[in-house]
Amino acid sequence: MSAPSVSPPSPGPPTDGLPLPRRYWAIAAILLAIAMSVLDSTIVNIALPSIARDFGATSAASIWVVNAYQLAILVVLLPLSSLGEVVGYRRVSQAGLAVFTLASLACAWAPTLLVLSIARLVQGLGAAGIVSVSGALVRFTYPQRLLGRAVGINAFVVATCAALGPTIASAVLAVAQWRWLFGINVPLGVITILIAIRALPETERTRRPLNPAGAALYAGTFGLLLSGLQSLAHHAATALALVQIGCGCGLGWLLARHELPRAAPLIPFDLLRIRVLSLSLATSVCSFMAQMAALVALPFEIQRLGHS
């Protein structure tokens, strides 16, 4: 598949979506990028027992292959979304695609579990760049009258890839090594980058300054909270884990104090005062926690019961 034969993007933002056929190529690039990033959040779970066995690692250690990816997405997702408003969503998406593709190659060739976990961390940074601006790119790709359909297609791809991740992983592992779960991203990533360069819309940039202090507080808050909870779950250095959680809560308080007065905050804390919204967010968090816990634990339990 070759890059589409369309004219280079104009310097100004589209007034009401992109013209055809460029619109189709743009949405193809957006959906391909999202599909790869979502699949890589679930596809590795099935391979964790094989990864642990190949590297001679414990089950608890191999879980960092998943944790590193999720941690990277968590700590930079909102800062990258805010950065997209300043430098352009197109640039953030393309940079994320490039980082994701190169990190996938590193994952496929990783000689140790530590190298694999670091490569997964970098891959998560790339995935965050993709996911953080995908909604904005969809908004500028489709005309207003078709925006609902575009958002629905985007949500359908996310849900489908999340559901099919374990099935696709099982199919790949039946005929190849676990390294191919990452290797397949390389040609797909190159194809997606070529399409994105030619087809993604150029969007208007805001003139507001960046918010490095808010981004640092946000990353520190969620990074410390997640790493502390992980240490508690693995019964490792309980005192240090409690210190991490305490520091994370303290940074979270500073983050709220820093962001509340801002006109364009990273996290709109004032929206949490809306009861329906706050309850919906809490429900979503609990639901995803239960879902991801099952997806990670089940492969090990199935192998313990004697199934491959």
Q: How far apart are CA 123 and CA 102, in angstroms?
A: 8
The pLDDT value given to residue 134: 93
Q: What is the mean pLDDT of residues 240-260?
A: 89
Q: Does domain 16-206 have CATH number 1.10.1370.10?
A: no
The pLDDT value given to residue 210: 79
Rg (CA), the chain: 20
Convert the pLDDT of each residue in 65-109 to its tens digit: 998 999 999 899 989 998 998 899 999 999 999 999 999 999 999
C-alpha distances in Å from residue 124, one per residue of 2, 76, 78, 96, 271: 27, 9, 13, 9, 27
The pLDDT value given to residue 271: 79
Convert the pLDDT of each residue in 106-128 to its tens digit: 999 999 999 999 999 999 999 99
pLDDT value at 170 more than 70: yes
How would residue 296 be classed by pLDDT, with cut points 50, 70 and 90? low
In this prediction the pTM is: 0.82
pLDDT value at 2 more than 70: no
The pLDDT value given to residue 307: 65
Kindly list the domain boundaries of the chain, sorted by start residue: 16-206
The answer to whether residues 88 and 202 touch, using CB atoms and an 8 Å cutoff, is yes
How would residue 260 be classed by pLDDT, with cut points 50, 70 and 90? confident
| Percent with pLDDT over 90 in the chain | 46
Residues 6+ apart with CB under 8 A from 298: 45
Which one-letter amino acid corresponds to residue 278?
Answer: S
Q: What is the mean pLDDT of residues 4-12?
A: 46
- Per mean pLDDT, which range of 37-46, 85-94, 180-189, 271-280 is the poorest? 271-280
Q: Which residue has the higher pLDDT, 287 or 93?
A: 93
Convert the pLDDT of each residue in 9-34 to its tens digit: 444 444 578 898 999 999 999 999 99
pLDDT value at 3 more than 50: no
The pLDDT value given to residue 306: 67
Q: Which residue has the higher pLDDT, 242 or 3?
A: 242
The answer to whether residues 252 and 218 touch, using CB atoms and an 8 Å cutoff, is no
The answer to whether residues 244 and 231 touch, using CB atoms and an 8 Å cutoff, is yes
The answer to whether residues 78 and 122 touch, using CB atoms and an 8 Å cutoff, is no
Q: What is the mean pLDDT of residues 151-163?
A: 89
